[in-house]
Amino acid sequence: MKKYTVTLGAALMATTAGVSAANAEDMHMIMCGDDTTPGIAVQADLISEWEAANPNYDVVVEFVPWGQCQEKSMTLAAAGNPAALAYLGSRTLKQLAQNDLIVPVNLTEEEAATYAAPILGTVTWNDQQWGLPRAFSSKALWYNRGLFEEAGLDPETPPTTWEELLTAAKAITENTEAAGYGLAAASFDNTMHQFMTVIYSNGGEVINSDGEIVFNSENNVQALQFVADIVEYAEPGPVAYDRGKLETLFAEQQIGMLIDGHWLTGRVAEDVNMDVVPFPAGPMGASSSLLITDSLAIFNGSGMEDAALSLAKMLTNPANQMSFDIAEGYTPIRTGPEVDALIAGDATWSPFIDVIPAGGPEPFVTDYVAMQDILNEAIQGVVLGEVDAAEAVEYAAEELESVK
């Protein structure tokens, strides 16, 4: 009899567990990229932990290739069938927020204080935060020490101003087989990204904190003129090059200098003698960088906004986010002892982390693709010698009014 009771009890428990699992609601989460990187394993463990604490939800993570990821999340939301949460470039947040497609993430003062102000700026619009920063990058100037020596330059004194940068690029172009500088000018987002670092290093802006287009400034004319001046010492045909192709050229030692993120270390063979410094200052500014974050955004209309927010906050809390950053090899979003240890172990991190307080975000506009096209067209115009810098800046500023 006892045997039957135990069997019956076990069957009942199994049925209950099955019913409970069947009742768990699917929470759709879209991630960009693939599921093979080390950080994804860290994230998967954290999601399991969250699911254990929230048995009513079953998190279904969908990995979408980078090229279509953002478009997919936004199109699903616009069609009224949003994911619960998605990984997005923070530059899209304003557009999504304005269309009421995402909900604010309501950071407490304590939570907000854990982020550096410029990083928080990448997700803030109308005094509210619309995403939780998930991945972060800043930019600096990588240079090839071997090519510097070959060109008669001292690799211990890399350029600190645009004038010195132009001189170094000229020397490399004239005295070695390589081009002095890697200039991105393809119709691609990282063309604009590279240019934004130049703009910020000359005190320029695209849109100010009041949401006004301030692109038509002397700072930005000088920045675009710098682009025009460096064409002579860049790889032939910069309009055909985006950052990925330039990284290949840098790895092949065919260009002497390149604005890029810290990930370049993993893409260049160890025998390439390279170093990194903050991007040189323009005549009207100080050394700076574009700060880019990708965020976890919570979509409106999924019916599980609060639960999705709880998951996103758990994934991005200081300890969990740091584990994710370290595993992925990303620039850490927050400071802390781990960051000090990172710099102590690899000094090349220093220019990327030290620049954060001086950096600027991707411009927050309502139509970022249009903004990207407008800025890229201005860059391509001066690179191809079809317009002068002042003319290109003036035209772009007028066009930008329609996308702010």
**Contact between 303 and other proteins per CB under 8 A:** no
Of 30, 64, 101, 375, the one binding other proteins (CB under 8 A) is 101
Q: What is the footprint of other proteins within residues 236-265 (CB under 8 A)?
A: 236-241, 245, 249, 254
Which CB sits closer to other proteins, 373 or 391?
Answer: 373
Of 43, 95, 122, 225, the one binding other proteins (CB under 8 A) is 95
Q: State the minimum distance, in angstroms, from the CB of residue 258 to other proteins.
A: 14
Of 54, 128, 160, 187, the one binding other proteins (CB under 8 A) is 187
Q: What is the footprint of other proteins within residues 347-376 (CB under 8 A)?
A: 367, 369-370, 373, 376
Q: State the minimum distance, in angstroms, from the CB of residue 225 to other proteins.
A: 18
Of 35, 386, 398, 401, the one binding other proteins (CB under 8 A) is 386
Of 1, 3, 80, 210, the one binding other proteins (CB under 8 A) is 80
Of 186, 213, 257, 315, the one binding other proteins (CB under 8 A) is 186
Q: What is the footprint of other proteins within residues 314-333 (CB under 8 A)?
A: none
Q: What is the footprint of other proteins within residues 116-175 (CB under 8 A)?
A: none
Which CB sits closer to other proteins, 74 or 353?
Answer: 74
Q: Which stretch binds other proteins (CB under 8 A): 42-50, 99-107, 143-151, 152-160?
A: 99-107
> Residue 331 and residue 314: Cα distance in Å, rounded?
20
Binding site residues, other proteins, CB under 8 A: 71, 74-75, 77-78, 80, 95-96, 99-101, 185-188, 235-241, 245, 249, 254, 367, 369-370, 373, 376-377, 380-381, 384, 386
